Chain A
């Protein structure tokens, strides 16, 4: 299958390993990945901070860039959530009916990585090997906005060598929330503290999730406290093999 890749601005800029892993994984599974260079950012930061008008060009850019593809994958539940639940709203408030229709149509063809693998490509065992003790944090937008359910866990359970340990109070927010982490830094840190306590209690050496943004937050805290626990994007685990 020909799959268009929306890397997200954060993975493209700061976490290229997660983006590269998505490409390697899909190519290993026999699919063709295309990366349209016109892509930049989905505009979620602007929309969620109260700048919908400023987000309009980004919403428009996403629709224009990806309209010509049948299937689009995003290695982020949060960006997929913004594209599917916010783009049409911004397009109809600040753009026009044509853009709104286009945004809605492209959004329907946009999948988060675990959705693409399980719902579209119908694969649970991606042939990965990852000999580590791993705990999985279900990010809020993947869980409650696009409802990926247990799809990431189903993928992780098939990974050879991986010791999957359950995260206590897994469904509680890590405290990131985009600009929330800056505007309400102390409350965000208090939420992060509990998330880290739960992660450390599992004895895992890796915490994984489907969003580089939440992982940047959790990882930033785990690193500051020298816990020795690393954060790794789900795509990187699924892309790992015996030979890598």
Chain B
């Protein structure tokens, strides 16, 4: 006998950052008009694309690495429950405590309670997408705990009371003079004569953070990987601030999406090659920190792992859509996306922007809450080619569009078009009727929406006097 438990739940509303305030086209409107943002994005994405392309070209087996990464992830998804249970036992054996969080609310409550139990009123944070997703900082603040982001870009975002706009470079939308202003306004103890020279800005952040590292006893991190066979967690980073958080405090709390688990230690061989080259365009990231439970006398003496679902089981239930869970958060798809390059990340509403966000966010929240995102793509396919684990994002976008709610007017128009095109004689008459549009307006200005979107920036073609099939019939 089996018990039907119902479909897995999607991420709850009212908590976290998976939903925007407005649909993508409207949010994009503001971003497109921001010339500073456009310039920053163009410069940053072009630079990363070039760097990444060069180091990827060095590896003769890049395509085979991608195949391997894709195969390992597909294997993980096919036996995720077993791997998570294995991970739980290994972490527990190694002295860690594992918590299961069904959604953002539960994860926030678990972390807040754990911090409270330590008596600390402040936590230092390693850059983490999962904690941004669930809105952990807001939850901690509500609980009287001050979270301090230690990744430089996340710190800029936090001090600026802002939202991240890129997975890897959260402050990609800010330039140095804006960063200087944010630091002067919000960084405790900052030098009032701070210049906007990048090394000076980095030094100011370093001074501030160093004091915080040495005086805070609890850290919160995410994880890039968790190895089921050994119970080892891993974080890769560039700055070393993560290493500080992962080694200095007494207590470490890691919040990890359940899809991050890998079966064996050996699988790291593949991902530690794929991730830095696709992500920052480095051959190897400067800092790789791995830890297994608790080591007496070395590093944090209390380790908690919070396994976060928050809609992931619902994504897993869709055999096409589940590929979105293969993502290793490298952001290569953002950097090659012509839409992202022009709108930036905030237009997507969710903390997961760009092509991967357009397929992940609507699945985590349920398509009704992010219905405009699968359409935020021209289906150009650059993301698929760039993805180090070969996620077929264009096919998933098409799949999600097929599940998205449609307006009655659009549905009627599409049904009428399909009806006409299914009947060659009716179709031929409709084609001839198109010629009438020549009378309606030669250049087509003054057409109703959505056609007015076209004619706002483009002329309509000259309508031909004769269709091809009429020409063929007369030959």
B79 CB-CB contact with A under 8 Å: no
Q: How far is the CA of A159 from the CA of B381 in the complex (A)?
A: 30
Contact A38 B424 (CB under 8 A): yes
By a CB distance below 8 angstroms, the chain B residues around A83 are none
In the assembled complex, the Cα of A11 lies from the Cα of B463 at a distance in Å of 11
Task: With both chains docked as a complex, state the minimum distance between the C-beta of B165 and any C-beta of chain A, in angstroms.
Answer: 16
Interface residues of B in 221-277 (CB under 8 A from A): none
B24 adjacent to A184 (CB under 8 Å): yes
Alpha-carbon distance between A23 and B469 when the two chains are bound, in angstroms = 12
A15 & B422 in contact (Cβ 8 Å cutoff): no
Closest B residue by C-beta to A47: B398
The answer on a CB contact under 8 Å between A140 and B431 is no
The answer to whether B469 and A37 touch across the interface, beta carbons within 8 angstroms, is yes
Whether B457 and A140, one on each chain, are in contact in the complex, defined by CB atoms closer than 8 angstroms, is no
Encoded as 1 (CB less than 8 Å from any A CB) or 0, chain B from 30 to 47 comes to 001000000000000000
Per the CB 8 Å criterion, the residue count for chain B at the interface is 58
Main SS of the interface on chain A? helix
Instruction: Report the separation of the CA atoms of residues A186 and B458 in the bound assembly, to the nearest whole angstrom.
Output: 11
Contacts A/B (CB < 8 Å), 14 sampled? A7-B469, A13-B434, A13-B468, A38-B424, A48-B379, A50-B398, A144-B381, A181-B453, A183-B450, A219-B459, A220-B454, A223-B458, A224-B457, A224-B458
B193 within 8 A of A: no
Q: When the two chains form their complex, are residues B467 and A16 in contact, meaning their CB atoms are under 8 A apart? A: yes
| Stretch from B1-9, B10-18, B289-297, B401-409 forming part of the interface with A | B401-409
Please tell me if A191 contacts chain B, counting CB pairs below 8 Å: yes
Q: Which residues of B contact A210 (CB under 8 A)?
A: none
Residues on the B chain within 8 Å of A145, using CB: 381
Q: Which of B342, B380, B463, B464 has the most CB of A within 10 A?
A: B380
Structural contact, A221 and B461, CB atoms closer than 8 A: no
Contact-size category for A: 35 or more
Q: Does A180 contact B (CB under 8 A)?
A: yes
| CB-based contact A57/B418 at 8 Å | yes
Chain A residue numbers with a CB within 8 Å of B395 are 85
**CA gap between A85 and B467 in the complex, in Å:** 28
Q: Kindly list chain A residues whose C-beta atoms are within 8 Å of the C-beta of B463.
A: 14
Most chain B beta-carbon contacts within 10 A, residue among A47, A58, A187: A187
User: Hey, which bits of chain A sit against chain B, CB under 8 A?
Assistant: 7, 9, 11-17, 19-20, 23, 35, 37-41, 43, 45-52, 54-55, 57-58, 61, 85-86, 140-141, 143-145, 171-173, 175-192, 216-217, 219-221, 223-224
Majority secondary structure of chain B interface residues (helix, strand, loop or mixed): helix
Known pairs A20-B468, A173-B380; A61 contacts B454 (CB<8 A): no
Let me know if A54 and B461 touch, CB within 8 A.
Answer: no
Of chain B, the residue at the smallest CB distance from A7 is B468
* Interface residue from A20, A50, A187, A224 paired with B459 (Cβ < 8 Å): A224
Q: Is the CB of A50 within 8 A of B406?
A: yes
Q: Out of B25, B380, B384, B457, which one reaches A183, CB within 8 Å?
A: B25
Residues of B within 8 A of A39 (CB): 424
Closest to B405 in A: A50
Binding site for A on B (CB under 8 A): 24-25, 28-29, 32, 338-339, 342-343, 374-382, 384-385, 395, 398, 401-404, 406, 410-411, 414-415, 417-418, 421-422, 424, 427, 431, 434, 450-451, 453-454, 456-461, 463-464, 466-469, 471-473
Known: A144-B384, A224-B458. A177 touches B469 (CB 8 A): no
Q: Other CB < 8 Å A-B pairs besides A13-B468, A46-B414, 5 of them?
A: A145-B381, A177-B377, A189-B458, A217-B458, A220-B461
**CA A15 to CA B462, docked complex, whole Å:** 9
Determine the residue in chain B with the shortest Cβ distance to A140: B380
Nearest-CB residue, chain A, relative to B415: A54
- The residues of A that contact B467 with a CB separation of less than 8 Å are 12-13, 16
Chain A residues with Cβ below 8 Å from B384 are 144
Nearest-neighbour CB distance to chain B for A223, whole angstroms, equals: 4
Alpha-carbon gap, A49 to B456, bound state (A): 21
Known contacts A173-B378, A185-B454; is-contact A223 B422 (Cβ 8 Å): no
Residues of A with C-beta under 8 A to B471: 16, 20
The residue in A20, A183, A219 that gathers the most chain B C-beta atoms within 10 A of its C-beta is A183
Q: Are A52 and B338 closer than 8 Å at their CB atoms?
A: no
Find chain B residues with CB under 8 A from A9 CB. Answer: 421, 427
Chain A residues with Cβ below 8 Å from B457 are 185, 189, 192, 220-221, 224
Contact of A54 among B29, B32, B403, B418 (CB under 8 A): B418
In the docked arrangement, what's the CA distance between A71 and B235, Å? 53
Cross-chain contact B404 with A141 (CB below 8 angstroms): no
- With CB as the reference atom, state the residue of chain B lying closest to A180: B378
| Interchain CB contact under 8 A, A15 and B424 | no
